[in-house]
Amino acid sequence: MHKKLIKFLFMASCLVAAAATVIGCSPAATTTTTAAPQTTGFPIAQPKVRFKIATTTSLYDTGLWAYLEPMFEKEANVELDIVYAGTGAAINQGKAGNVDAVIVHDPDQERVFVSDNYGINKRAFAYNFFMIAGPASDPAGIKGLDPVAAFKKIAEGGKKDSNAIKFISRGDNSGTHGAEKRLWADAGYVYTEIQKSGPWYSEAGQGMGPTLTMANERNAYVLCDGSTFTSYKGKLALVSLVEKPSASTLNIYNAYAISTAKVKTANVAMANKFINWLISTDIQKVIGQYGIKEFGGPLFNPISDGGCTFPACPNLTENMLPVK
């Protein structure tokens, strides 16, 4: 009985040990072994690099960026994180280190951005023109005028009859808002006085699409970029009243990398790859064709088309050189 009890206890201890770990039940076993990890035979997928940009609302509202985004993600094998904002907000995102590159269109704010050493490797990649839309009845009588004369008539009429003549501003420190302020200055007005001049003038504080919608609802005049107006035209009763291209209405879209001298975490290598991609022959062609099928003409003009001949246009030869 004693020998049988010893054998029973030994076997029981082996079973308990086996339930916890894989250990040999030989009385002589004194070491343990670890099973080799199971593999599928395929390489383990590495997470994609996240590349962050801030881009203007017109590129979003027209759908151009939704069209371009998957192309660049595939080209660079990255996951894009995109902030859609007016130029002022986009620049602030860059300064705060929240993005690696920005796309903006306000020369006044851009000059400061560059002089403060935040924005580097500037390249223009597309352009369009600002225009003034308004009610078909055109109560201020601006149709066919140049934009400065049109702004004068809108202000004069709005002050006299704010029920009949209204103007909706972006009011968001965007590139379009900056162009509006320059036009008010060219028309001889102090912008802060325009803001307080009566109920005829309102600020939306929103992107281009929502601002157009607000102007449409209020039967008001609005300054907008031609690309967004064209893409929204089917939803609006507003009509284009002042649209002749000019140096004062030229709207250039520029891409910048964020300098690592200011933001150490900025992915400048990927930002440069992104900028070079935007000015590449293939993508310039894509930009020039975007909108033709749906709207009968391109929404944006690629810089490479050579059609930008106003004094404010960038040096095209220099602009198309790849960033190093």
- The reported pLDDT for the residue numbered 43 is 56
Question: Domain holding 104: CATH number?
Answer: 3.40.190.10
Same domain, 109 and 257: yes
Please give the model's pTM, rounded to 2 decimal places: 0.84
Q: How many domains does the chain have?
A: 2
Same domain, 233 and 278: no
Would residue 4 count as lying in a domain? no
Quote the distance between the C-alpha of residue 281 and its chain's center.
21
* Domain termination residue (choose one: 242, 260, 279): 242
Same domain, 222 and 306: no
Same domain, 256 and 120: yes
Would residue 33 count as lying in a domain? no
Determine the structural domain holding residue 186 and report its residue range: 129-242
Q: Is 83 helix (H, G, I), strand (E, B) or coil?
A: strand
Query: Which has the closest alpha carbon to 89: 178, 210, 167?
Result: 178
Same domain, 235 and 136: yes
Query: Which has the closest alpha carbon to 195: 161, 167, 174?
Result: 167
Per-residue pLDDT tens, the chain, 324 aa: give them: 443 333 333 344 433 343 333 334 334 444 444 444 454 555 555 668 999 999 999 999 999 999 999 999 999 999 999 999 999 999 999 999 999 999 999 999 999 999 999 999 999 999 999 999 999 999 999 999 999 999 999 999 999 999 999 999 999 999 999 999 999 999 999 999 999 999 999 999 999 999 999 999 999 999 999 999 999 999 999 999 999 999 999 999 999 999 999 999 999 999 999 999 999 999 999 999 999 999 999 999 999 998 888 888 888 888 888 998
Quote the distance between the C-alpha of residue 287 and its chain's center.
15
Same domain, 292 and 152: no
Give the total residue count for the chain. 324
161 backbone dihedrals φ, ψ, rounded to 5°: -145, 90
Same domain, 135 and 123: no
* Domain termination residue (choose one: 199, 221, 242): 242
Same domain, 124 and 259: yes
Same domain, 156 and 182: yes
Same domain, 232 and 145: yes
Same domain, 164 and 228: yes
Query: Which has the closest alpha carbon to 86: 64, 117, 121, 61?
Result: 61
Would residue 235 count as lying in a domain? yes
> Could you give the CA distance from residue 269 to residue 164 in angstroms, rounded to a whole number?
53
* Domain termination residue (choose one: 186, 214, 242): 242
Q: In the structure encoding, which two tokens stand for residue 64, read together?
A: 């151009």
Would residue 100 count as lying in a domain? yes
Would residue 247 count as lying in a domain? no
Would residue 32 count as lying in a domain? no
Q: Residue 252 is inside which H or E element, if any?
A: strand 250-258
Same domain, 166 and 224: yes
Would residue 262 count as lying in a domain? yes
Would residue 40 count as lying in a domain? no
